């Protein structure tokens, strides 16, 4: 089968091909630049404070853009098995280790595949929860 370079098979659903449109090099650069303030956001849940903190350090992000970047960090943290406990030092250290080896130090194509697989995993989990719980999830 001839498929474009940005169409990949969903590793969680055989035969399902997904068009991955994320600009991976740009996204990876933003993820790296915001890694430390992502933890600040996880702990404080104060997006405006994080925007100000970044601005003081020379990083210029709009709140909406930063929220989008943090949502990618959320998906990755979940995929790596660390989401929900990132305020605990050891869990945060594990996330940074996984992020560093699988995103920062990886070739850009491999980092892109990790991001792609993390979104597939999120969709798989959401579908599993919906199938198990049905409308009860929408309460």
Number of Cβ within 10 Å of residue 133's Cβ equals 11
What residue ranges do the domains of the chain occupy?
A: 8-138
The pLDDT tens digits for 109-130 are 899 889 988 988 887 776 666 6
Q: What is the pLDDT of residue 59?
A: 85
User: What is the spatial distance between Cα 112 and Cα 38, in angstroms, rounded to a whole number?
Assistant: 20
Q: What is the pLDDT of residue 11?
A: 65
User: What is the spatial distance between Cα 125 and Cα 72, in angstroms, rounded to a whole number?
Assistant: 16
The confidence band for 78, taking pLDDT boundaries of 50, 70 and 90, is: very high
Q: Which of 56, 50, 97 is nearest to 76 (CA)?
A: 97
Q: What is the pLDDT of residue 3?
A: 55
User: What is the spatial distance between Cα 102 and Cα 89, in angstroms, rounded to a whole number?
Assistant: 20
The confidence band for 8, taking pLDDT boundaries of 50, 70 and 90, is: low
Q: Which secondary structure element, helix H or strand E, spans residue 126, and what is its range?
A: helix 108-133
Say which DSSP state 13 is in: S
With beta carbons less than 8 A apart as the criterion, state whether 12 and 120 touch.
yes
């Amino acid at each position: 089968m001839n498929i474009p370079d940005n169409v990949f098979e969903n590793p969680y659903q055989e035969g399902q091909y997904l068009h991955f449109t994320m600009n991976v090099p740009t996204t990876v650069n933003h993820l790296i630049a915001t890694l430390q303030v992502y933890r600040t956001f996880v702990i404080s849940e104060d997006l405006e404070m994080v925007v100000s903190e970044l601005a003081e350090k020379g990083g210029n992000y709009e709140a909406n853009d930063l929220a989008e970047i943090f949502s990618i960090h959320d998906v990755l943290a979940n995929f790596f098995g660390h989401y929900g406990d990132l305020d605990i030092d050891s869990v945060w250290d594990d996330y940074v280790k996984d992020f560093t080896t699988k995103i920062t130090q990886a070739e850009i194509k491999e980092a892109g595949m990790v991001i792609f697989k993390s979104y597939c995993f999120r969709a798989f989990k959401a579908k599993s929860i919906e199938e198990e719980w049905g409308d009860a999830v929408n309460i």
